[in-house]
Amino acid sequence: MPKKRTTATRSRSNWVALSGRFSFSESSVVFHPTQIQEVPEPIWGSGICMTSTRLSEGTIKCEVQFSEIAAYGSCEIILYYQPENRFAVMAGLGAGTAYSIRHYDGQQWVPHYFGGDRAMLQPKRPYRVAVSRAGNIVTMAIDEVVVARVNLPWPLAPSQVGLWMAGSAEIRVTNFRVERKLAKAFVVMQFSAPYNELYQDVIKPVCEEFGIEVERADETAGPGFIVQDVVKKIEEATFIIADITPSNPNVFFEVGYAYAVRSPTILVAEKHSQLPFDVSGFRTLFYENTIAGKDKIEHGLREYIEAILRPQGIV
């Protein structure tokens, strides 16, 4: 039986410099500039330092202070990093503009958001930076003001996190911390019996055993267009659970969108269901509406959920 978790967790990190010059203390990371070329014009190097902390979903927070606003000086939080090819996704201050979200594919920089006038940045002022990742969505806030939110074209796998800094002046980062979010499950199914009972008596309790926040589309309250709400929930979910027993166009639209954005999806269906051709080749967890069937679907769901969460370091 999985151990139930009900609160987000905050983790501290060990630091290792992969490139560039850094100094580390218990509460700070300091980037020391290195000149790599003098003529025909000065060129200053960059640096990468990574932590021991892995993140699947949650928020990275820190305070950033530039000793001076130097040419090309920037400080960005690394949300995802592949050491074998240096592929990185990052968000932060000073990369050409005031605020940016971008990735490096091993050969070139690819922007996802550039905004704000870099001239607005001030030296010796501590900027409170918070960068969150939820599903495909990356959000950045500066001093509690959201300045950027992008939907990446691919999901971010769990990864260690860190910092990328560059420029000709010292940059200090303090109080770097990672706040992991609990996993979220979004359930798509027809809103009628016996599917309501499957949700309330099986799916919801099993998810809650893992400390997973679980929600169904009809539980979303508030104004707005319901399709937009559903799309947002799918994008932000750690994984999707979809009952594809009845031929419901809404459910198949939601399953299709989940696959399009590569959200891990658990398909369930009543035993002996005739599945449409397009989904018949996917692994499906079948269940029976019996007492014995309830135990089997609960066991199967636990195994599927653990298979999704274990690589992310959540279980």
252-268 pLDDT per residue, tens: 899 998 888 878 899 99
Of residues 106 and 122, the one with the higher pLDDT is 122
pLDDT of residue 181: 78
**Alpha helix positions (H), the chain:** 195-198, 204-209, 226-236, 249-260, 277-280, 291-309
Q: What is the pLDDT of residues 264-306, one digit of tens each?
A: 899 999 887 777 766 766 788 999 887 778 889 999 999 999 8
In the chain, the N- to C-terminal Cα span, in Å, equals 11
Pairing of the two strands 171-180 and 9-11:
antiparallel
Return the percentage of the chain with pLDDT > 90, whole number. Answer: 49
* 184-312 matches 9-180 in CATH topology: no
Domain 184-312, CATH:
3.40.50.2300
Extract the tokens encoding 56. 């699947």
Summarize pLDDT for 196-210 with one digit per residue, the tens. Answer: 999 999 999 999 888
DSSP 175: E
Question: pTM here?
Answer: 0.67
Count Cβ atoms within 10 A of the Cβ of residue 110 and give its class: 0-12 exposed, 13-18 middle, 19 or more buried. Answer: exposed
pLDDT score recorded for residue 297:
92
Rounded-to-integer distance, Cα 258 and Cα 239, Å: 9
Instruction: Determine the CATH number of domain 9-180.
Output: 2.60.120.560
Domain boundaries, the chain: 9-180, 184-312
